[in-house]
Structure 1
């Protein structure tokens, strides 16, 4: 369930504002429409969401569902700086929940968005866990199995990504239950199944079950190849993760097709440092670490048509030959997306600098 769906409730006739100043009401209608327009156009709507919330609060008061939904809208727009706005988002979602909980039964679906917002913006893993459980219980009361699965997936994502494995078993249980429902009831190209595949792959990689992770990510890629006709950030991410996993497991040849797929999706940037799809950090030379010496190595190299690093040359280095040797050994294992010209992969030059610094 998305908080944006709550926008519709504000399409009601503006009842309950008879004591509010007419100019405030007119201003609210203008600002709220600007907010909707900004959302539709994919532009930043944070300022308009805040204005609509503050004006709407004057019109509807502190106990109206409309005020709660405006608070949720505003909180959802505070995503540009996630860390800085986390406490502010939590406060807005909490205010919305307080209003909605007073106006609706404890099992009401109207509470879900505010609860999810609180869960994803709290710093307490135990509180997040309790909030997710409450959301899932509310979904179960609705007797809509897909809603339950969606809430379990949301809980799995929130607990897994937000709290560094502190609720690993709980998150995994939610994920497996959601994944089972999706696999039995939804088509392969559904957004929900793709999201579940990504999270299953992440769990598998974390447990070094690389074959399982590779299997799920390959399924995501095949869905885009077979059923979806557009390039997508999710597809790009799947290819990138597959390059990393294949290289990690010593299957460079398998990684190549994914390097090529990424190259077709992302243009080669001549004037900026290329981003490797897989990198191995250089070993710190024992002779340098012993005396706590720092160094750096700047290199130029070819990225061949399969994305391998070839013909490495030293442009500049500081600290001595030992750093150069380790830098070259590491670079030989890196993988890139090759450059494409006229639909074909070509060899291209790139540069990188590796810095060797040891803690003082």
Structure 2
């Protein structure tokens, strides 16, 4: 997102503090709250940023008109802080109550911005993206995102446009509104990143991974393969193994298995086992899973069930020694579960920075949606 809000309010805060007129207690409280917010941002302390942003917003609402640009800026600051404190990454799921609160702040800011700025003003992008990413209704979110794309296109800012297109793709990819046009947002973003960013730029590498996953999902394995290899190449320079690199290895295992290129598939499994973990000690991490096939005869019979299994994840992330410990519904569920489990890939368990074999368990549920 853009980051002009603090600069706007910093000037306003300086005006309050340097005024030749008497500063009342309420103004002084707001000035202190906003100063605390700035300090928290400088320190990168997420909980303090959220707490001080809330206080600054609440006190600012008593100092400025409800529909003023100042209150809109404060609302954006608090909304952004809430997202980071409550959910971490912007695109991670929110709990319902928090999403509604955050979305209301973005909508408030968006309404004020539309009143104060032109329809194609670049300032509208921040509240449009925030509102889209916290909006539960996919159609409303899509409208916000399209407005942001239109504004970015008029701005002729290639990086900004690519960022917004990739954001729009991630927001809508798993909704009923996913279309070839939404898919093309990701492809177009990567094309722009390749033109304007170096090979190792994180935005470009992440977009390469995303497009690789799209091509894989559409069974375009010849297109997906070089994209995943590029992701691995760029992340190899890191001192730890990025989750995207692990997943790229897993995708390549699947691609090479489909091509019956066992040696190449094994090479990527071995690479997973030799990874440098992002923590010195960590549990197994599933990085590639397929869903079991529902036995057709059981579908016709309306049978549901489940299977509980234990197994070992070895040093290379392969599933070994699967064992059924309990099941319900029939032997075909057990057969499909064992078959599916053999295709799964994990990042292995690490102790003291070294990959080790370790046992884990999973439950596979079979339910017919009526």
**What interval of TM-score do these two structures reach, taking the shorter chain for normalisation?**
0.7 to 0.9
TM-score in terms of structure 2 length:
0.77
Task: Quote the offset at 1:243 in angstroms.
Answer: 0.7
Give matches, 1:1-360, under 5 Å. Answer: 1-2=1-2, 4-14=3-13, 15=15, 22-39=24-41, 40-44=43-47, 45-79=49-83, 80=86, 82-84=94-96, 85-161=98-174, 164=175, 166-226=177-237, 229-231=238-240, 235-247=242-254, 250=257, 252-262=265-275, 264-269=277-282, 274-281=284-291, 292=303, 294=305, 296-299=307-310, 301-312=311-322, 316-317=325-326, 322=331, 327-340=337-350, 345-346=355-356, 348-355=357-364, 358=367
Cα pair distance change 1:337/1:116, threshold 3 Å: closer
TM-score in terms of structure 1 length:
0.79
Task: Quote the offset at 1:8 in angstroms.
Answer: 1.9
Cα pair distance change 1:87/1:258, threshold 3 Å: farther
Cα pair distance change 1:42/1:223, threshold 3 Å: farther
Cα pair distance change 1:216/1:286, threshold 3 Å: closer
For residues 13 and 209 of structure 1, what CA distance do their matches in structure 2 show?
54
For residues 165 and 224 of structure 1, what CA distance do their matches in structure 2 show?
33
Cα pair distance change 1:244/1:91, threshold 3 Å: same
Cα pair distance change 1:20/1:144, threshold 3 Å: farther
Task: Quote the offset at 1:104 in angstroms.
Answer: 2.6
Cα pair distance change 1:173/1:23, threshold 3 Å: same
Does the CA-based 8 Å contact 1:317-1:324 persist in structure 2?
no
Q: Give the secondary structure class of the aligned counterpart of 1:166.
A: coil
Cα pair distance change 1:203/1:353, threshold 3 Å: closer
Task: Quote the offset at 1:339 in angstroms.
Answer: 4.1
Does the CA-based 8 Å contact 1:308-1:334 persist in structure 2?
yes
Does the CA-based 8 Å contact 1:240-1:262 persist in structure 2?
no
Task: Quote the offset at 1:55 in angstroms.
Answer: 0.8
Cα pair distance change 1:32/1:71, threshold 3 Å: same
Q: Give the secondary structure class of the aligned counterpart of 1:115.
A: helix
Shifted more, 196-205 versus 133-142: the winner is 133-142
In structure 1, the gaps of 5 or more residues are none
In structure 2, the gaps of 5 or more residues are 88-93
Does the CA-based 8 Å contact 2:317-2:345 persist in structure 1?
yes
Task: Quote the offset at 1:47 in angstroms.
Answer: 3.1
Q: What is the total number of aligned residue pairs between the two structures?
A: 347
Does the CA-based 8 Å contact 2:280-2:350 persist in structure 1?
yes
Supply the RMSD in Å over aligned alpha carbons: 3.6
Q: Give the secondary structure class of the aligned counterpart of 2:347.
A: coil
Cα pair distance change 1:171/1:31, threshold 3 Å: same
Does the CA-based 8 Å contact 1:263-1:337 persist in structure 2?
no
For residues 58 and 224 of structure 1, what CA distance do their matches in structure 2 show?
49
Q: Which residue of 1 aligns with 2:90?
A: none
Cα pair distance change 1:261/1:96, threshold 3 Å: farther
Task: Quote the offset at 1:123 in angstroms.
Answer: 4.1
Does the CA-based 8 Å contact 2:120-2:154 persist in structure 1?
yes
